[in-house]
Structure 1
Amino acid sequence: MNEQTLFRQTRWRLASWYAGVMGIILAVSGLGVYEAIDHAHRTAADRELQAIAGRLHDNIEPTLQQPGEIPASAQRFLPDPCNSPSQCTETVRAAEHAPGEMFQGNYYIRLLDPSQDLVALAGLKPPGLISSSSASEWQFLKDRDKTRYRQVTLPLQNPNEQLWGYLQVGSSLKDSDRYLSSVRLALFAGLPLALGFVGVAGWWLAGRAMRPIRQSYQQMQQFTADAAHELRTPIAAAQATVESVLDLPQLSEAEARETLQTLDRQNQRLSQLIQDLLLLTRLDRQIQLKQNDACCLQDLVSDIAEELAALALSKKIQLLTDVQVDQPLWVNGDEAQLYRLVFNLVINAIQYTPEGGKVTLALDQQDQQAVIQVQDTGVGIVPEYQAKIFDRFYRVDSDRNRQTGGSGLGLAIASAISQTHGGKISVQSQPGQGSTFILSLPIGSVRQPTPTL
Structure 2
Amino acid sequence: MSNYKLPVNDTKFQKLHWRLLLSYLTVMVAILGTSTVAIYEFFAHSLYQQTDQRLIILAQAAAHNFTETKEQYQQEQKIYEADKYPHPQVFRRLDGDGDLDISWHNLREPDQGVEWFDAEAKLLGNAGTVLPNSSPHPGFETINNGQIRAVTIAAYSKDKGKQKLEGYVRTSETTQEVEVVLIKLRWGLGLGSIFALTMTGIGGLWLTRQSLKPIIQSFQQLKQFTADASHELRSPLTAIKTSVDVMRNHPERIHPADEKKLAAIASATQQMSSLVEDLLLLTRMDAQTATINQQLIPIPLDEILSDLVDFLELQAEEKEITLKSHLLTGVFVKGDATKLTRLFANLIENALQYTPKGGTVTIFMKRLDRSVIVSVEDTGIGIAAENLPFVFDRFWRADKARTRREGGLGMGLAIAQAIAKHHHGEITVTSQLGVGSCFRVRLPVISEPKT
Q: Which has the higher contact order (CA 8 A, sep 6+)?
A: 2
When Rg is computed on C-alpha atoms for both structures, the one with the higher figure is: 1
Please tell me the TM-score bracket, short chain as reference. Answer: 0.3 to 0.5
